[in-house]
Amino acid sequence: MSTAQLMTAADYRESLRRYRPTVYVDGQLIESVADAPSLQPGINALGVTYDFAHDPKLAPLMTAIQTRSGKRVNRMLHINESAGDLLNKLEAVRLLCQETGCAQRYLAHDALNAIGQVSARIDDAQGSTEHRARFSAYLQRVQDEDLSLGIAMTDAKGDRSLRPHQQANPDTYVHVVERNARGIVISGTKAIVTGAPYMHEFLVMPCRNMGVQDADFAVCCAVPVDASGITIVARPAGRPGDKVEHGAPLFSRRYGQSTGVVIFDRVFVPWERVFYAGEWEHSGALTHHYATHHRHSCIGARAGFGDLLIGAGALMCEANGFDPGAKASLRDPMVELIKITEGFFACGVAASVYGTHDEFSGSFMPEPVFSNIGKLLLSTQIYDMHRLAHEVSGGLIVALPGPDEDHNPATAATLAEVLRANPAVPYDKRIEVARFIEDLTASYQGGWYSVISLHGGGSPAAMKQEIWRNYPVGSKVELVERLLDRGVLHDETRAITRNRQPGRCCDTGCTTPGQPVMVALPQPIRPRES
């Protein structure tokens, strides 16, 4: 067995120096992404995905063997080959987000799996092999070089009531403006690209179903972040400044996420980097596959965030002088927070166990109903998670004096005495936890976590549509009709019985007999040094 050239966090940071993207943050042109203070929390977060793959205890979870190549690759670049792979990916993302809040790199996993499925699907429809071959060659290079990929999927969209080809300004969607023997030329705008400034390449993907008149907008390809004609307009990652709002934040000064608007102005893409261009019939399949993979990953990500809130809430209770086990008014909201976190995570586990074998690519895909239910739960309950953390913490998380007072000789001693609660917990430890919770739930960054949880990976309306589209309501209707002894046969013309499901699993289950379901989970990790 060989291993791809897995980078460390230091290697990743240094690799960014080989690229010269055009990046603006807060109106300023960034000369060096690797050194820009405004982007450091995002670079740090991606660095964790690299370093964890080198940790002997974590490597079995953070890496995987790609059977086709025989190489060990980073889990975030792995094509799922079993239900066990789906479980391992879910746990890996949760572990990464326990450390970083949002590890971001799992979007590459989701996109690569979806593109692999659709490439095989197109070849099957056309009786060709070229799409699968192009993707396989690209995948091998990405895995071998251990690259980070930004997902350029969400278009600016313009007038939402009109289709892409009907827009007054066609650049509200990325589209093909020219084709030649060497490749294609694309223009347009992708509005929300996670981690855009500090990625190596972009995977350009359509964000919706396309019709025949939208064929030029049905394009999927890979481009380097510094390709000629690309401009990135981004927001800072986290809260990296020394005195942002309420002093240097304890968590988001270290870890955060930048998002960027990416403008494509006649960007040339050689054919070997084009996965499809014009095959509008398959855009719906790509968006469906990606959404299912990504919503499954989001479940793991927000479970990791929930773990942070659970731990911080318990510490805050202790610092305030209370034992949640003995005080129902604190125990109940803590249990509610646990219920929410593990409830939607359980949907991710179910989606993994009931994962399905893709008939075209041979890879594995999470079960869509459980994936969408889990994502819908976390999307709508993220606000409850914040509220519950606030409920058990008390008002001190936003009422504390600023950090400068900790070093003010005129006030520090008095504050340390009067704002101490549990005699066993020093004042500085109490306020440390309080400011940690403020950072995650009641700050600019806390608001960001709420909105990105609600809309990241699609709106709740989109998830409800997918649940209704995939849920076997017809099987439930026929169950009742059998009990009522109606003798009604299945009828494809009946709207309510159209969607049926014979059973969750085949006779042998979703994994090969004797195959381990997943690797052993790692022991609790040591805190990382600042």
513-528: average pLDDT: 58
496-501: average pLDDT: 72
Q: Tens of pLDDT along 247-266?
A: 556 788 889 999 999 999 99
Residue 188 has pLDDT above 90, yes or no: yes
What is the per-residue DSSP string for 212-264? GGGGGG-EEEEEETT-TTEEEEEPPSS--STTSSSSS-TTTTTS---EEEEEE
Check residue 449 and give its pLDDT.
Answer: 83
Check residue 530 and give its pLDDT.
Answer: 46
230 strand-pairing partners: 264
Check residue 198 and give its pLDDT.
Answer: 98
User: Smallest Cα–Cα separation from 339: which of 368, 310, 296?
Assistant: 310
φ and ψ of 161, to 5 deg: -85, -10
Residue 214 has pLDDT above 50, yes or no: yes
Between residues 425 and 218, the one the model is more confident about: 218
Residue whose token pair is 């820009």? 36
Residue whose token pair is 């909201």? 333
- Reading the block at residue 244, the tokens are 């942002």
Residue 503 has pLDDT above 90, yes or no: no
Q: Tens of pLDDT along 429-446?
A: 788 888 889 888 988 778
Poorest-pLDDT segment among 105-109, 140-144, 305-309, 459-463: 459-463
d(CA 308, CA 506): 38
Helix orientation angle between 368-393 and 427-441, rounded to the nearest 10 degrees: 140
91-109: average pLDDT: 96
Q: Using an 8 Å Cβ cutoff, are 8 and 54 in contact?
A: yes
Between residues 529 and 354, the one the model is more confident about: 354
SS (H, E, C) 327-350: CHHHHHHHHHHHHHHHHHHHHHHH
Q: Tens of pLDDT along 411-423?
A: 555 555 556 667 7
Strand 356-357 to 364-365 pairing: antiparallel
Q: Is 100 left (phi over 0), alpha (psi -120 to 50) or beta?
A: alpha
* Residue ranges of E strands in 44-87: 63-66, 71-74
| DSSP3 helix / strand / coil % (the chain, rounded to 5) | 50, 15, 35
Average pLDDT, the chain: 88
Strand 149-152 to 201-204 pairing: parallel
pLDDT class of 341 with cuts at 50, 70, 90: very high
User: Smallest Cα–Cα separation from 403: which of 237, 253, 240, 245?
Assistant: 245
Check residue 508 and give its pLDDT.
Answer: 44
Q: Tens of pLDDT along 470-492?
A: 988 888 888 888 888 776 666 77
φ and ψ of 25, to 5 deg: -130, 125
CATH code of domain 286-466? 1.20.140.10
Residue 509 has pLDDT above 50, yes or no: no
d(CA 298, CA 382): 12
Q: Tens of pLDDT along 120-131?
A: 999 999 999 999
User: Smallest Cα–Cα separation from 87: which of 494, 432, 367?
Assistant: 367
User: Smallest Cα–Cα separation from 304: which of 199, 378, 195, 355?
Assistant: 378
pLDDT class of 164 with cuts at 50, 70, 90: very high
167-182: average pLDDT: 97
444-460: average pLDDT: 84
Poorest-pLDDT segment among 13-27, 229-243, 263-277, 332-346: 229-243
